Chains A and B, each alone.
Chain A
């Protein structure tokens, strides 16, 4: 599957952290999206990165921009992780690994958890990929400043009244 900029990200259909079925397009709801895939709650790197995202949510919640996180953790585990972080965005659970192989985002060096490769995608509201980040090495992940920049670029492109 082509997940490079300009391609369409698939409309994932997965349960959220409460177990409700969701689609990615429903969660985008007409807004730009920062989509992040995580190894899982157990990984110290993910815990560190998620704390950064939680700080960023204070800006996104007033900027009409969305954050969606995908991992192989079960919904109840995601719900506890989310609550502990103080996150107010949605987690999607691919515990059955329905989407992981189709996306080609398997973290092949972890044969214990079979998790997602840490990655990030910034998406237009119609799920067109604006930018992609490979976070196998921590420093490959999108910084908060890069996410802000991407959200600004997308918003400038899709908000007809941007220049008012």
Chain B
């Protein structure tokens, strides 16, 4: 899946290699300098059958809530946020990474899959999504991706 990166989740630990369920997230979350001593709120299950479609209203609703209040609530604590994709249409949950885990009980993605708090040094800081776009780009897990550079230029 172009623009994505993989992590593995066994129900308790996140890593960049097996064992665990393979989940694709916004590649920017693993691309920069890692933030040491952060906390990931993993709203996903290790069960390989635990999935919803990205287009389900409850999944769209969680993305809207992330834009509206979840990211602002985290403020400077936020490191990065990404949904998990299994393929271009199926959603396996989301991860929010923050320097302080105290707000994780309010995570809107925990309405979809139960949250697990994991201490982690894997993730790098990514500017939060700008909104209001909640759709995905060419199957890249939200909020990653964008249309090609050629689309930036006026063609007429």
Which of B67, B72, B137, B151 lies in contact with A79, CB distance below 8 A? Answer: B72
Assess whether A61 is in contact with B154, with CB atoms less than 8 Å apart.
no
A interface residue count range (under 10 / 10 to 19 / 20 to 34 / 35 or more): 35 or more
Known A-B contacts A61-B64, A79-B72; the reply to A90 vs B153 at CB < 8 A is no
Task: Determine the chain B residues whose CB is within 8 A of the CB of A20 once the complex forms.
Answer: 76, 127-128
Tell me the B67-83 residues at the A interface (CB within 8 Å).
Answer: 67-69, 71-72, 75-76
The answer to the question of A134 belonging to the interface, with a C-beta cut-off of 8 Å to chain B, is no
The answer to the question of B155 belonging to the interface, with a C-beta cut-off of 8 Å to chain A, is yes
Q: Is the interface of B mostly helix, strand, loop or mixed?
A: loop
Tell me the A115-132 residues at the B interface (CB within 8 Å).
Answer: 124-126, 128
**Chain B, residue nearest A21 (CB):** B127
Task: Determine the chain B residues whose CB is within 8 A of the CB of A108 once the complex forms.
Answer: none
Assess whether A88 is in contact with B132, with CB atoms less than 8 Å apart.
yes
Known A-B contacts A30-B147, A157-B154, A158-B154; the reply to A89 vs B132 at CB < 8 A is yes
Assess whether B76 is in contact with A61, with CB atoms less than 8 Å apart.
no
Task: Determine the chain B residues whose CB is within 8 A of the CB of A86 once the complex forms.
Answer: 68
Tell me the B110-156 residues at the A interface (CB within 8 Å).
Answer: 127-128, 130-135, 137, 146-156
8 contacts across the A-B interface (CB closer than 8 A): A17-B72, A18-B75, A20-B128, A22-B130, A31-B133, A125-B147, A126-B152, A159-B147
